[in-house]
Chains A and B, each alone.
Chain A
Amino acid sequence: MSKNTVSDRFRKVDVDEYDENKFVDEEDGGENQGGPDEAEVDGLLRQYPSATGGPEGLGARERPGGERAELLVVKVLSSFKSSDIEKAVGSLDKAGVDLLMKYIYRGFEKPSDNSSAVLLQWHEKALAVGGVGSIVRVLTARKTV
């Protein structure tokens, strides 16, 4: 009996890998598309200080991936004047509002300086347009932004 229990090599075997009925997730692999071009967005910001071009530009590029994109988005969102936020949110379509909500929550995950306060303002306006459903879609989304 004691001989059988000496070796613990079996503990290194991942039995789930050998399960025939294992659920294999089908990810469409859309995560690695290029993020928004930093230079282009910076250029836009300089051209339009009240930056109404920002969110539409983001909406046009669906699912950019990576941390770079996320920092960029937070930068763009912070550059808006408080009074312009509502107008900007209003100019987005439903899919755009959902995408915006995703970025807002991503931004909440990594707070920096003043970002949370600005993001909260955006969150309030986006919630008014998208409703609780847009938050549910952030939580259930399978392709994370």
Chain B
Amino acid sequence: MAYHSFLLEPISCHAWNKDRSQIALCPNNHEVHIYKKDGTKWTKIHELKEHNGQVTGIDWATDSNRIVTCGADRNAYVWTLKEGTWKPTLVILRINRAARCVKWSPKENKFAVGSGSRLISICYFEQENDWWVCKHIKKPIRSTILSLDWHPNNVLLAAGSCDFKCRVFSAYIKEVEEKPGPTPWGSKMPFGELLFESGGGGGWVHSVCFSHSGNRLAWTSHDSTVSVAEGGKTGMLTSLSSETLPLLCVTFITENSLVAAGHDCYPVLFVYDGAKGGLTFGGKLDVPKQAAQKGISARERFQNLDRRASESQSTDKDLNTLHKNSISQISVLEGGRNQCTKFCTTGMDGGMGVWDVKVTLSLIVRFWL
């Protein structure tokens, strides 16, 4: 487990390049900073300044090496690297509220932007006019879109929204792609078609994630629940009400297990059993170092009683987790979503943690045995 503290401000969002040597992040302002890995140090190599409002989403298209950013100024820019500098191209999103999240599609020929205008903008490049055009998905979204994730077939898009629902839409653009084949989520996929909608839960859907095969969809909600739905089996919706504070981000690390993190400042593991349709809590992935129990003198005991009404030195409220504030985003570094070996978390403490799956899992096993 490695931890690097980039800033004192929260990291609003981050994205990695293909070989994971560079990270683009927003230091809670209107800019995007790109850092390059230098051994164990990180040096800032680029500053992307174009947005007029906070940058709320960054995604790096690893194969075509383009970055898309979206911000509270209702704009999105596609950045391409030309002669060592990143040059922006404005994308007209036609929204009248802030953009909240952005994701490149798997084939990187289009991207989706979720916004507070209660719609999703699907943007693709029109060769004849040499600019980015967008189409809107509006119905039946009733509130801000907080998170997006593409299905591996490049057509289906999952969206988590503030109207307490997680939905799967078709974002099929006939100008850039062939008609997709049938999937467990449905076979008729015209643009904007709603293929799945979760039942109204109790909280905003903070994060959605498709599994590697695209057959499973997981999302976290503000009422401290994690849910998994399987395509095609309409009855198969399992939720787990967790005992922790709400989780803000989730990703699959194998077809059957998810890692999620949120306001409790540590990542947690969940295991999904497809056959029984059950979701279970797998363990806390941040095992604190056991502090050596020192002997406390009688004088110290009374002092502690006087000061904090308890005899022990440290209170339970001391954070002995890696991150010292909520974790807002999680991304897979190595291994993909079916055999993840490393993942990265960034949070409101301005730091980035890199987690080694094998190491953290072995820690849980040792802890629970």
Contact = CB atoms under 8 A, between A and B. Distances in A.
Nearest to A24: B142
Contact of A133 (B118, B142, B200, B224): B224
A15 interface: no
Interface residues of A, number: 15
A137 B241 CA distance: 9
Given A26-B200, A136-B223, 10 more contacts: A98-B241, A131-B244, A133-B224, A133-B244, A133-B245, A134-B241, A140-B202, A140-B223, A142-B164, A142-B202
B216 interface: no
B223 A141 contact: yes
B246 interface: yes
Interface residues of B, number: 18
Nearest to A97: B241
A111 B224 CA distance: 28
A134 B243 contact: yes
Contacts of B203: 136, 140
A133 B241 contact: yes
B200 A136 contact: no
17 contacts: A94-B241, A132-B243, A132-B244, A133-B224, A133-B242, A133-B243, A133-B244, A134-B241, A134-B243, A136-B223, A136-B246, A137-B202, A137-B225, A140-B202, A140-B203, A140-B222, A140-B223
Interface string A112-139: 0000000000000000001111101100
B118 A21 contact: yes
Contacts of A18: none
A133 B226 CA distance: 11
A23 interface: yes
A137 B243 contact: no
B143 interface: yes
Contacts, number: 43
Given A130-B243, A131-B243, A136 B224 contact: yes
A142 B221 CA distance: 13
Contacts of A142: 164, 200, 202
Nearest to B246: A136
B143 A23 contact: yes
Interface in A30-52: none
Interface string A61-72: 000000000000
Nearest to A143: B202
A142 to B, nearest CB: 6
Contacts of A141: 202, 223
A130 B164 CA distance: 22
B223 A137 contact: yes
Contacts of A137: 202, 223-225, 241
A31 to B, nearest CB: 15
B242 A131 contact: yes
Nearest to A26: B200
A133 B241 CA distance: 7
